[in-house]
Amino acid sequence: FCNNGTFPQHLTRPGGALGHPEDSTYVWKLTLAIIGPVMGLLIIIGVVVLILLKRSHNKRLEHPPGGHSSYLAVPHDLVSSSHDNLKSQDGYLELTSGSGSGLPLLIQRTLAKQISLAECIGKGRYGEVWRGIWHGENIAVKIFFSRDEASWSRETEIYSTVLLRHENILGYIGSDMTSVN
């Protein structure tokens, strides 16, 4: 007989335990829950795009698409300014043969004077490979023996080919014929 039909009245807040959907704090929390992750995702995408653009820009600086592969840039003090085939660009003078047939002879003759040999890296049947320094940068110098002039000529012809690009060819500066003494 304890439950004779009367039940206690529970006090409830209007709109339930979470409050009304129209409540300003509820709307504010819902807005932050949606906009926060979207903004975070946009920031991450923006950073990734900036990194990719920076990398492609650096690659373009290393390998210009229309590079001047038919002539070699020479610092101003190495070439007299009275020569007919000089072109000036970005503080450098470039000497071409005028015919477009490859690297000019004058540049090839001055190339050996600009390189200082540091150490022998290896020796083989046709010559030696040395580590050299050219304009403050480390380079590889392949020195052919005088009896293998045909090999030198053929290799010079191959590397002088315009637009010769391959991932295993680091870069070709030029060829020179000189004596050791």
Strands (E), the chain: 72-74, 86-89, 92-95, 115-123, 127-134, 137-144
Beta-carbon count within 10 A of 107 CB: 22
Q: Which pLDDT score, from 0 to 100, does residue 111 have?
A: 74
* CA angle (171, 63, 167) in 5-degree steps: 50
Q: Which pLDDT score, from 0 to 100, does residue 115 have?
A: 83
Query: Mind listing the pLDDT tens digit for each residue in 33-60?
Result: 999 999 999 999 999 999 999 988 887 7
Q: Report the half-sphere exposure of 13 (CA within 13 A, side-chain side).
A: 6
Structure tokens at 155: 């290799």
Q: Which pLDDT score, from 0 to 100, does residue 99 have?
A: 54
Instruction: List the chain pLDDT tens, one digit each, 181 residues.
Output: 566 667 777 766 655 555 555 677 888 888 999 999 999 999 999 999 999 999 888 877 665 444 444 344 444 444 443 344 444 444 444 445 455 555 554 454 567 778 888 889 998 887 888 888 888 888 888 887 777 778 878 877 877 776 667 777 667 777 776 666 5
CATH superfamily of 72-159: Phosphorylase Kinase; domain 1 (3.30.200.20)
pTM of the model: 0.37
Q: Which pLDDT score, from 0 to 100, does residue 85 have?
A: 42
123 is in an annotated binding site: no
